[in-house]
Structure 1
Amino acid sequence: MTALLLALASSIAYGAADFLGGFAARGAHVLRVVMVAAPVSLAVELLLWPVIGASFDGGAVAWGAASGVASAAAFALLYKTLAIGPMSVLSPVTALVSAALPVAVGLASGDSLSALAVAGIVLALVAVVVVSGGDAGGVRPSREALVLAFGAGAAIALQLICLDQAPHGSGVAPLIVGRTVSSLIVLTAAFALGAARLGATRPDTRTAAGAGALDSLANFSFLIAARHGDLSIVAVITALYPAATVLLARVLLGERIGRVQLAGLGVAAVAVSLLALG
């Protein structure tokens, strides 16, 4: 139950972070958003260090660094994807890809699942697809947006898999190493492009910072959840984060939630219930 609740918390935080990051990237270069979000994420993780502790052994550093590379790619691809929109369609596409890879790795690594848990995973994956069935007011995503969504999902999946592989006694060390690496990559890329190519438009600092802080808390919740439960279950619950993104897009941006999407949210609730019982 601890893993389930933490995975749900991670899901909500990821969904809210995605909404804020995608919103901040509208009209501004995505790297400008990540330049704010990534360092704020690192600051949050450094604040967690004295509370949770950290052990910087070889495994924690190696897997943390690998997660950082994937995180930098995920940040840029995801915020660009959601900036193009529509959020209510592209976010679930990204989530489906980000769930499928960790589930496959978890099962291949020997996760033992009950029949209820298997049914819950299947329903959760179905829910992600169904939630993406809304037409977002008749707006269809472009081919570029769909390609970016698949790339973002793959990057998120790799980040989660790397965090799961880090030693369980390493505390927040993998997160700190990963965020340090991702911040350096982002700042290096921004410096290489130069101010002219990044454009003059700057994102709202508070929105971008909020995205970074929530993403850090989501990563932390996932890391602890994965240490208490099976990767295949934790990852698929975490992948329900589009529910938060879709609801925020509806409330704050006026994007329409169709009956199909509402049905998908209901299926997601059933899936979580089955996983809790399993």
Structure 2
Amino acid sequence: MIALLLALGSSLAYGCADFLGGLGARKAHVLRTVLVAAPASLVVDLLVWPVLGAAFTPSALGWGAASGVASAAAFALLYRTLAIGPMNVLSPVTALVSAALPVAVGLLQGERLGAAGLTGLPLALLAVVLVSAGSGEGTGRPSRTALLLALGAGAVIALQLVFLHQAPSGSGVAPLITGRAVSSAVTLAAAGAMGRRLGPERPAYAVSAAAGGLDAVANLLFLLAARSGDLTVVAVITALYPAGTVLLARGVLAERIHRGQLVGLGTAAVAVGLLALT
């Protein structure tokens, strides 16, 4: 139950981070947004270091660095995907891919689900599609580039989660700190290589920093959840993050929640209840 609650918190934080990151990427080049978001994430990880501790073993450093490379790619691909849209087509693609790969890894590593889990798992994946797809009204067909970005974003998000899960359970937040340091360095190097091609527009600093901070919270909650529960269950619950985006859009932007999304939220609640019984 603790792992489930942590995964739900991670999902909500990811959804809020994506909402803010997508907004920030519309005001300037996506790398300018990530240049603010990634260091902000590192600051949050450093703040929790004295509380949760960190053991910088070779294994923790290695898996943390791998997650950092994936994180840098995830920031850029996801924010770019959400910026160009259509969101109600691309978001479920990203979420499903980000859930499917860790679930496959968990099953290959020997994790097993009971009857409730085997029912709740596909329901949760269905909920991801319903919640993130919206009504579809006035939505155009996504370009090939946008679809490839969504697939890529989902894949690197999945890799980031798997790499974090592989880090030693006694390493504290060392994998997170290492990962954020690496992702910040990779982003800075990429921005330096692009130079003037980034354009003159300044990023939305506050929004981008908030997105990075929330992403750090989401990663921390996921790491704690994965250490106390099965990756198969934690990954699929975390993949419900579009629900956080939808609820934030409803509360902040007064966007209407469509019937399909309401069904998705209800389906998600049933799926979480079933997965809690595993």
Q: What is the TM-score with the length of structure 1 in the denominator?
A: 0.96
Q: Report deviation, 1:257.
A: 3.3
Give the SS at the match of 1:26: coil
Q: Report deviation, 1:200.
A: 1.2
Given that 2:34 and 2:76 are in contact with CA atoms closer than 8 Å, whether structure 1 keeps it comes out as yes
Partner of 2:202: 202
Partner of 2:24: 24
Whole-angstrom CA distance in 1 between matches of 2:10 and 2:271: 16
Matches for 1:115-194 after TM superposition, within 5 Å: 115-143=115-143, 144-194=145-195
Matched, 1:224 2:224: yes
Q: Report deviation, 1:98.
A: 0.2
Give the SS at the match of 1:28: coil
Partner of 2:66: 66
Given that 1:88 and 1:255 are in contact with CA atoms closer than 8 Å, whether structure 2 keeps it comes out as no
1:99-122 Cα deviation digits (max 9, x unpaired) = 000000000101121110121111
Query: Which piece of structure 1 moves more, 153-162 or 263-272?
Result: 263-272
Whole-angstrom CA distance in 2 between matches of 1:27 and 1:45: 27
Given that 1:168 and 1:227 are in contact with CA atoms closer than 8 Å, whether structure 2 keeps it comes out as yes
Query: Which piece of structure 1 moves more, 79-88 or 4-13?
Result: 79-88
Partner of 1:10: 10
Q: Report deviation, 1:277.
A: 2.0
Whole-angstrom CA distance in 1 between matches of 2:250 and 2:148: 24
Whole-angstrom CA distance in 2 between matches of 1:231 and 1:160: 9
Whole-angstrom CA distance in 2 between matches of 1:77 and 1:16: 17
The 3 A distance-change label for structure 1 pair 218 and 205 is: same
Partner of 2:47: 47
Whole-angstrom CA distance in 1 between matches of 2:32 and 2:119: 42
Query: Which piece of structure 1 moves more, 101-110 or 85-94?
Result: 85-94
Q: Report deviation, 1:90.
A: 2.4
Q: Report deviation, 1:126.
A: 1.2
Whole-angstrom CA distance in 1 between matches of 2:133 and 2:208: 28
Counting matched residue pairs gives 277
Q: Report deviation, 1:202.
A: 1.3
**Letter of the aligned partner of 1:202 in structure 2?**
R
Whole-angstrom CA distance in 2 between matches of 1:255 and 1:141: 22
Partner of 2:265: 265
> Which segments of 5 or more consecutive residues in structure 2 lack a partner in the other structure?
none
**Letter of the aligned partner of 2:192 in structure 1?**
F
Whole-angstrom CA distance in 2 between matches of 1:247 and 1:90: 18
Q: Report deviation, 1:254.
A: 5.4
Given that 1:64 and 1:176 are in contact with CA atoms closer than 8 Å, whether structure 2 keeps it comes out as yes
The 3 A distance-change label for structure 1 pair 14 and 238 is: same
Identity %: 68
Whole-angstrom CA distance in 2 between matches of 1:176 and 1:141: 39
> Which segments of 5 or more consecutive residues in structure 1 lack a partner in the other structure?
none
1:219-254 Cα deviation digits (max 9, x unpaired) = 000000000000000000000000011222344445
Whole-angstrom CA distance in 1 between matches of 2:140 and 2:246: 15
Query: Which piece of structure 1 moves more, 137-146 or 261-270?
Result: 137-146
Given that 1:72 and 1:185 are in contact with CA atoms closer than 8 Å, whether structure 2 keeps it comes out as yes
RMSD: 1.4
**Letter of the aligned partner of 2:11 in structure 1?**
S
Whole-angstrom CA distance in 2 between matches of 1:253 and 1:88: 16
The 3 A distance-change label for structure 1 pair 140 and 252 is: farther
**Letter of the aligned partner of 1:229 in structure 2?**
G
**Letter of the aligned partner of 1:233 in structure 2?**
V
Matched, 1:80 2:101: no
Q: Report deviation, 1:154.
A: 0.3
The 3 A distance-change label for structure 1 pair 215 and 133 is: closer
Given that 1:136 and 1:257 are in contact with CA atoms closer than 8 Å, whether structure 2 keeps it comes out as no
The 3 A distance-change label for structure 1 pair 135 and 146 is: farther
Q: Report deviation, 1:266.
A: 1.0
1:45-97 Cα deviation digits (max 9, x unpaired) = 01111110000111101100100110010000000011112334422221111
Given that 1:93 and 1:132 are in contact with CA atoms closer than 8 Å, whether structure 2 keeps it comes out as no
